[in-house]
Amino acid sequence: MRKNEPVRMCITCRVREPQQKLIRLQEKNSNIFPYTGQGRSFYICTGCCENEKKLKGLMKRFRLSSEDSEQFVKYLKELDKNG
Ligand SMILES: [Zn+2]
C-alpha cells in the first residue's frame, strides 16, 4: 500500500479499505446509482456487493423502491462481471 493512499469506509460493514478497492456510489431521492462526481457519495466493499443480506439492509436504509433495488443489484452484478 502506498503512503497517503486515501482510505474509505464501507457504509455497510464499516471495513476500511483503500479508496480504489471500494465501489463509490451515490444516493439521491431514495435511489442509489454510480457516483456522478456531484453530491453525496458513499462506498461499499466488494464483499458487501456479493452479500444479498447486506445489500437488502442498505436498500432499506435508503428506502429504495423494489424497482430501484433491482436496478441497483443489476448494476453491482455488472461491475462484478467486468472486474
Ligand atoms: Zn462492506
Domain boundaries, the chain: 7-82
The reply to whether CATH 3.30.1230.10 applies to domain 7-82 is yes
Distance between Cα 28 and ligand 1 center (Å)? 20
Distance between Cα 6 and ligand 1 center (Å)? 17
Distance between Cα 24 and ligand 1 center (Å)? 12
For the beta carbon of residue 42, count every other beta carbon within 10 angstroms. Answer: 19
Distance between Cα 67 and ligand 1 center (Å)? 23
Q: pLDDT per position in the chain (83 positions), as tens? A: 567 889 999 999 999 999 999 999 999 888 888 999 998 899 999 999 999 999 999 999 999 999 999 988 888 888 877 76
Grid cell digits, residue 56: 437488502
Residues in the chain: 83
DSSP E strand stretches across the chain: 7-9, 16-18, 23-28, 31-34, 41-44
Record the pTM. 0.83
Grid cell digits, residue 77: 452484478
